[in-house]
Structures are given as structure tokens and as C-alpha cells.
């Protein structure tokens, strides 16, 4: 899990995570 979060640490992920934690989780899930 930690790997995915760091690997997906991008502007999109940050923006999505800041606005919607669920969206961030979805981004981390499939990838």
C-alpha cells in the first residue's frame, strides 16, 4: 500500500486526495 501511495504521489493524486479522499483511494486501488 505504501508503495502505491508514493508511486502515485502526483498533482492529480494530491488534488483528488485533498478534495475527495475516496477518489484518492480509488486511484490507489486499481494501480
Into how many domains does the chain fold?
Answer: 1
Mind listing the pLDDT tens digit of every residue in the chain (31 residues)?
A: 555 555 555 666 666 555 666 666 666 665 5
Q: What is the pLDDT of residue 3?
A: 58
CA distance 18 to 15: 5
Q: What is the pLDDT of residue 29?
A: 63
Q: What is the DSSP string of 1-31?
A: -HHHHHHT-SHHHHHHHHH-HHHHHHHHTT-
Domain that holds residue 21: 1-31
Amino acid at each position: 500500500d505504501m508503495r502505491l501511495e508514493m508511486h502515485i504521489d502526483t498533482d492529480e493524486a494530491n488534488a483528488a486526495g485533498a478534495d475527495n479522499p475516496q477518489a484518492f483511494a480509488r486511484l490507489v486501488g486499481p494501480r
